[in-house]
Amino acid sequence: MTEIKKIAVLGAGLMGHGIAQVATQVGKYEVNLRDVEQRFVDSGVSMIRESLQRFVKKGQLTEADLDATLARIHPTLDLKEAVANADLIIEAVPENLELKKATFREVDSYAPSHAIIASNTSSVSITEMASATKRPERVCGMHFFNPPQLMKLIEVIRGAKTSDATIETILAVAHRMEKETVLVKKDSPGFIVNRILIPALNEAVALCYEGVADRDDIDKAIKLGLNWPMGPLMLLDYIGSDTTLAIAEVLTKELDPKFHPTTGLKQMAKAQLLGRKTGKGFYDWTQK
């Protein structure tokens, strides 16, 4: 099993900054946080600081804890610098197979030979991403849930060539971050959660667009009827209609036409009504 001391997180966006925060705040790891533009890096660090300040206000962290956590985060634009001394690289770039494969290929050329490369993907094939590297046995999925600072689950996904030692290492890292884990034994699109969730979100959009019920009643019905902590349309705004659409399209292509995204979901994505990330989706997120 590989000893993990330093982690590189690639992508400082909605998921990446949260993963970096958990790794350094809870896991106490040194973290290199990398993105392609300075504004993305700055935004990621700013979101981490704001999140930590909320923990301080709730009495769950001290100011000293906040300062120590931020001190363990090392922002950078340089990919080689980010991964050259990392034991674990967690990729959190957009859900685009070619982009992810290109990232894996480049990371593979810079990272130490012992380093593990894990993807936070929610739908893309771990096996295919691993094929872009010369270390497929050291590649796996490490799927966090949004927001990583609060959600307890990590899906650990085994690729076709992932070694037992890699899985054991990732499980140990996840547990050090105080997360619960589930092991996806076979690299199947959507893994466990999204294979069940995406059809439910897709159907909720259809109900709304067909005028069967209003947004609030759809969310209320599922919250009270199925005991979800939030309704499917609000959850979709948290995930993003673009991300939901991308996963639905992968499931449709790789598994079964039954996962085909509804017209309403496609229209939401086309209109950039992505939810929290653009300020508007099914709900208005511009007002705090």
Per-residue pLDDT tens over the stretch 217-250: 999 999 999 999 999 999 999 989 998 998 899 8
pTM for this entry:
0.90
What are the Cα distances from residue 90, in Å, to 24, 103, 190, 223? 13, 11, 18, 33
Check pLDDT > 70 for residue 188.
yes
Which member of 122, 123, 125, 241 is catalytic?
A: 122
pLDDT at 288: 59
E strands present in 29-152: 30-34, 73-76, 88-91, 116-119, 139-144
- In the predicted model, what is the mean pLDDT of residues 174-195? 96
3 is annotated as an active-site residue: no
- In the predicted model, what is the mean pLDDT of residues 154-162? 98
227 is annotated as an active-site residue: no
122 is annotated as an active-site residue: yes
143 is annotated as an active-site residue: yes
Which member of 125, 155, 202, 241 is catalytic?
A: 155
Residues of the chain with CATH 1.10.1040.10: 197-270
Per the DSSP assignment, residues forming a β-bridge with 73 are 31
Check pLDDT > 90 for residue 95.
no
CATH assignment, 6-184: 3.40.50.720
Q: Which residue has the tokens 């884990």?
A: 181
Which member of 119, 143, 202, 241 is catalytic?
A: 143
CATH fold of 197-270 reads: N-(1-d-carboxylethyl)-l-norvaline Dehydrogenase; domain 2 (1.10.1040)
Residues of the chain with CATH 3.40.50.720: 6-184
Each residue's pLDDT tens digit, 132-143:
999 999 999 999
